[in-house]
């Protein structure tokens, strides 16, 4: 299945604004992020804390909806989904 | 009107457009690039989601307070010290709700709308953290 | 700038003039002639005293809150529904104090500044009472 | 002595925006208002309540300074003073 990754701010600077991943059906968010980390140590360092869990300040959205709690790792992605990753917002 | 745009906005034009015969009070908030030792900044947004979140905030504000209209224009792209960043125009029958509504909107905007600022200093650059950190205003 | 004048004002012009390099937030309040079944109104002021009281209120606000600038323009003479009555422009480093300062000023203005409104209805006219009575906003 | 009377809103409509009174030295505010009342029943009705005291909603200023409490009746006027009379303010 194809999942689009949108990255903003310093995540965009590391992996570019838009990536397309070809993942196995049923891959969860964590799987997609690990896939991206495999290609970029900088991305891994920005996304994960020292314990290997997604850093608390990282914001994740699937199709424009924020995901929180356990969903941040385990929510399953579907073909055509847009997964967005970015740091805390600072508009206004 | 809810809009993300590169161009500047004209406050007077939006204030005039916000008026109806029942309008007694209009409160506006304008966020401006402040000189925190920076040369300029660049604003980036998750466009579709940011505009949708702004519309959600407008709807929340109009549900919470008896407002007549809410307009929010947020700029993106490169901005210099003194440039406008965001304009919020709230019209109401009376001033109390116009103030409450306008402040509610900018508070929420800073919490939830996916927009980021990169500040360029003389020899370096930095991403601005979220509210309660180095927020500009 | 503190001024009583017959002419309308331009919000954008005053907002731009209020900016300094340290300005991060500008809040404006615009009072507008609301249609309370009226055709038009006439504003009258005790000019010298009104301008002096507005300056006192500006000074109080700047002492109470960390504001960078305060401008107040109040119109007099004949006005129609939808016309601007008063503009308050408050600039500050951060939004909280800009909101507090602006609301403080309009609240005080309505209590102490010698200005009166006569409303003209279809077949009659009436003087508007003070705040807490038929205040427009 | 000469005292200028400035009247606003409905007081202006009754006695005009500016009057000049030639009063005896030492005349208090009450004396000036009674002098004006002598020439206009409408003014008297607007300025005084049924007990003959200055109505509570009437605002008085001498030389641009609000006078309150007992001063509203007893403060002594001086040559060249400007006494202003008006209803509650309603700007903004």
Q: Would residue D92 count as lying in a domain?
A: no
Please determine, for residue C92, whether its predicted confidence score (pLDDT) is greater than 50.
Answer: yes
Q: What is the pLDDT of residues A30-56, one digit of tens each?
A: 999 999 999 999 999 999 999 999 999
DSSP string, chain D: -EEEEEE-THHHHHH-SEEEEE--TT-BHHHHHHHHHHH-HHHHHHHB-TTSSBPTT-EEEETTEE--TTHHHHPBP-TT-EEEEE------
C-chain residues near B95 (CB < 8 A)? 29, 31, 103, 106, 137
Q: What is the pLDDT of residues B26-53, one digit of tens each?
A: 999 999 999 999 989 999 999 999 999 9
**Cβ–Cβ below 8 Å for A91 and B45:** yes
Q: Among partner residues A10, A86, A92, which is closest to B110 by beta-carbon distance?
A: A92
Q: Smallest CA–CA separation between B15 and chain C, in Å?
A: 8
**Cβ–Cβ below 8 Å for C82 and B19:** yes
C-chain residues near B27 (CB < 8 A)? 27-30, 102
pTM of the model: 0.94
Q: What is the pLDDT of residues C3-47, one digit of tens each?
A: 999 999 999 999 999 999 999 999 999 999 999 999 899 999 999
| Residue B133: per-residue pLDDT | 38
Q: What percent of chain B has pLDDT over 70?
A: 95
| Residue C130: per-residue pLDDT | 72
**Domain of residue A72, CATH code:** 3.10.20.30
Q: Would residue A52 count as lying in a domain?
A: yes
**Cβ–Cβ below 8 Å for A91 and B44:** no
E strands present in chain A: 2-7, 18-22, 59-62, 65-66, 82-86
Q: Work out how many domains chain D is built from and give that number.
A: 1
Q: Would residue A53 count as lying in a domain?
A: yes
Q: Would residue D91 count as lying in a domain?
A: no
| Residue B131: per-residue pLDDT | 64
Size of interface B-C (CB pairs under 8 A): 104
Q: Smallest CA–CA separation between A60 and chain B, in Å?
A: 11
Q: Would residue A11 count as lying in a domain?
A: yes
Q: Smallest CA–CA separation between D23 and chain C, in Å?
A: 24
- Extract the tokens encoding C101: 């300062």
pLDDT band at D26, cuts 50/70/90? very high
- List of residues 6+ apart from D6 with CB closer than 8 A: C46, D17, D18, D82, D83, D84, D85
**Chain B residues 38-97 with CB within 8 Å of chain A:** 43-46, 48-50, 52, 74, 85-86
Torsion of CA A73, A79, A85, A90, to 10 degrees: -120
Q: Would residue D54 count as lying in a domain?
A: yes
Backbone phi, psi, residue C106, to 5°: -70, -35
Q: Among partner residues D59, D86, D88, which is closest to C129 by beta-carbon distance?
A: D88
Range of the structural domain that residue D28 is part of = 2-86
**Cβ–Cβ below 8 Å for C127 and D90:** yes
Average pLDDT over every residue of D29-36: 97
Please determine, for residue C133, whether its predicted confidence score (pLDDT) is greater than 70.
Answer: no
Average pLDDT over every residue of A13-31: 97
Is 0.85 exceeded by the ipTM?
Answer: yes
| Residue C131: per-residue pLDDT | 64
Average pLDDT over every residue of B106-113: 97
| Average pLDDT along chain D | 96
């Amino acid at each position: 299945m194809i999942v689009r990754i949108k990255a903003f701010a310093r995540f965009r600077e590391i992996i570019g604004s838009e990536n397309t991943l070809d993942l196995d059906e049923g891959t969860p968010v964590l799987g997609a992020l690990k896939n991206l980390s495999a290609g970029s140590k900088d991305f891994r360092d920005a996304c994960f804390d020292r314990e290997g869990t997604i850093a608390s300040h990282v914001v994740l959205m699937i199709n424009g909806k924020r995901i929180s709690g356990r969903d941040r790792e385990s929510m399953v992605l579907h073909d055509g989904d847009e997964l967005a990753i970015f740091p805390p917002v600072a508009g206004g | 009107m809810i809009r993300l745009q590169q161009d500047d906005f004209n406050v007077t034009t939006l204030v005039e457009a916000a008026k109806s015969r029942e309008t007694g009070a209009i409160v506006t908030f304008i966020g401006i690039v402040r000189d925190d030792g920076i040369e300029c900044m660049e604003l980036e947004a998750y466009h579709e989601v940011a505009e949708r979140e702004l519309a959600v905030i407008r709807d929340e504000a109009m549900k919470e307070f008896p407002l007549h209209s809410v307009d929010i224009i947020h700029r993106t792209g490169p901005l210099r010290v003194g440039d406008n960043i965001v304009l919020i125009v709230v019209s109401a029958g009376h001033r109390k709700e116009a103030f409450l509504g306008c402040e509610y909107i900018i508070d929420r905007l800073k919490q939830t709308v996916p927009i980021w600022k990169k500040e360029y200093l003389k020899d370096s650059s930095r991403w601005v953290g979220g509210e309660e950190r180095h927020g500009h205003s």
